[in-house]
Structure 1
């Protein structure tokens, strides 16, 4: 398969439960929100049958990973009781585990992590960066992949006031470096870890988010010379950082989201998390063909 990333130093393969992910091209992670209040599609897939139809459509559209969430992480979102979150996500994992794509669970609760892994999940996507008590113990002995995200504050308060950084790129990298070091120090293999700078999670809508996008490779934790970088996940789909530019409500930000996905690919993102799988897959195919022609020196 042709090398379709813009960075010469590709991440090492990511151990991800039943799968080992490689990054000759950016992988598309499709968002499956089994929630009533997510910022873009809340309530659309809260019913099990609706969520399954959505997952089946993403599979037809060429999704590489499905990310299942049972609790909204939009700014101001209230916490969801444990039993309710489990009831939303575990049946989906059990039904989808035969779909032959990795299943990711978007959660910060160790109990949800344990149940999801037992049900067949392959990756844990934690907006808290594995900081909550008990989460490292919940994932340490498994073979699941981990996505460590940066967030300033918490969902209920992260966008209250103006998030403050001296150097947002450096501070995000240092946070992710510390979290990865703690995980590895606890016995989690580096080959299981990916990182996410957390677009929209405690960042100013335009300045901080676009600084992170412009310097995306620099947000990954520093590694020893000659060691491949951690895979970077970029999640900008339909977010306010796009709405601020195009002045459209979240469901109408598809074109802006696809543009952001291509920008992330150009900057070396290994995984791109999106609501709109089909147009993203199509756009990345075009971008990839251009990159391959460039590499081949076609004229």
Structure 2
């Protein structure tokens, strides 16, 4: 039976986002956009105070916190679960102190010194794999061999470290990475999308997918970021049908419609049996 994934709506509080060109860098614009995303079907708002694409400028924690502060304060009373997308421990601590329900870390919680603070909270942790290991995406090639084996070994090691620090396994959500986080060849990302069931079977944990407007979709369609809506929706629906539990997207409304159609098709299949 089709299970609707939870939708994370993306709010980039940055001047250098590849996908929306800094449209929501101003706090009032970010707040309005977050509320629009929630009204259009986002279950969680994912606040990103820094870009992670290969051409992005690094942002120190103090600046991330400055960008986040007024947005979190304004959204706190809305009852919308919030996620903060940052690998800086200072930013993560700020997010937790201000009620974030999720931490989304592209480095996969690489700082063991921060584990006691994480263990003391009940926030869910989006544990992302990347071939870079540290910092933003770049354009390096994927490692030799089966990418799913590489991802699996990373998750095994990081889950063991988190559990040893007292962080319950059930709090963790697995993100295999997409686009430049797994290499510049589109085939790598498509292979991961096709094999999500292997990750779920191996670890028994929910899977998080973020493909919205990414380079590998644009590479096969020839579309600019603002024109990649159809390709994004197709990839997101395939991720959902292959078992993704969480999908991070710029456009919740069409994705929610796609989920409704998929559920109806599944119901129709059951009626015919």
Could you say whether these structures have the same fold, taking a TM-score greater than 0.5 normalized by the shorter chain as the test? yes
Could you say which residue in structure 2 is the equivalent of 1:64?
Answer: 43
1:73 matches 2:52? yes
Could you say which residue in structure 2 is the equivalent of 1:206?
Answer: 186
Could you say which residue in structure 2 is the equivalent of 1:278?
Answer: 253
Q: Distance in 2 between matches of 1:280 and 1:99?
A: 23
Q: CA deviation at 1:288?
A: 1.7
Q: Is the 8 A contact 2:7 2:247 kept in 1?
A: yes
Could you say which residue in structure 1 is the equivalent of 2:30?
Answer: 51
Q: Is the 8 A contact 2:107 2:135 kept in 1?
A: no
1:268 matches 2:266? no
Which secondary structure does the structure 2 equivalent of 1:194 belong to? strand
In the TM superposition, what whole-angstrom CA distance separates every residue of 1:116-152 from its partner, at most 9, and x where no partner exists? 1111111000000001353323312001000000011
Q: CA deviation at 1:156?
A: 4.9
Shifted more, 131-140 versus 65-74: the winner is 131-140
Q: Is the 8 A contact 1:38 1:72 kept in 2?
A: yes
Q: Is the 8 A contact 2:10 2:249 kept in 1?
A: yes
In the TM superposition, what whole-angstrom CA distance separates every residue of 1:210-257 from its partner, at most 9, and x where no partner exists? 11111112234834xxxxx21000110000110011101111100110
Consecutive unaligned residues of structure 1, counting only runs of 5 or more, are 6-24, 224-228
Q: CA deviation at 1:207?
A: 1.8
Could you say which residue in structure 1 is the equivalent of 2:271?
Answer: 297
Matches within 5 A, 1:1-299: 3-5=1-3, 25-132=4-111, 134-153=113-132, 154-156=134-136, 158-160=138-140, 162-200=141-179, 201-220=181-200, 222-223=202-203, 229-294=204-269, 296-298=270-272
Which secondary structure does the structure 2 equivalent of 1:134 belong to? helix
Q: CA deviation at 1:157?
A: 6.0
Which secondary structure does the structure 2 equivalent of 1:208 belong to? helix
Q: 1:135 to 1:293 in 2, by over 3 A?
A: farther
Consecutive unaligned residues of structure 2, counting only runs of 5 or more, are none
> Given the two structures, how large is their TM-score scaled by the length of structure 2?
0.94
In the TM superposition, what whole-angstrom CA distance separates every residue of 1:182-225 from its partner, at most 9, and x where no partner exists? 111110111211000000203233121111111112234834xx
Q: Distance in 1 between matches of 2:137 and 2:186?
A: 18
Q: CA deviation at 1:268?
A: 0.2
Which secondary structure does the structure 2 equivalent of 1:67 belong to? strand
Q: Is the 8 A contact 1:140 1:186 kept in 2?
A: yes
Q: CA RMSD in A?
A: 1.7
- Structure having the higher helix fraction is 2
Q: Distance in 1 between matches of 2:185 and 2:117?
A: 33
Q: Distance in 2 between matches of 1:222 and 1:98?
A: 39
> Given the two structures, how large is their TM-score scaled by the length of structure 1?
0.86
Runs of 4+ in 1 over 3 A off after TM superposition: 154-157
Q: Distance in 2 between matches of 1:234 and 1:82?
A: 25
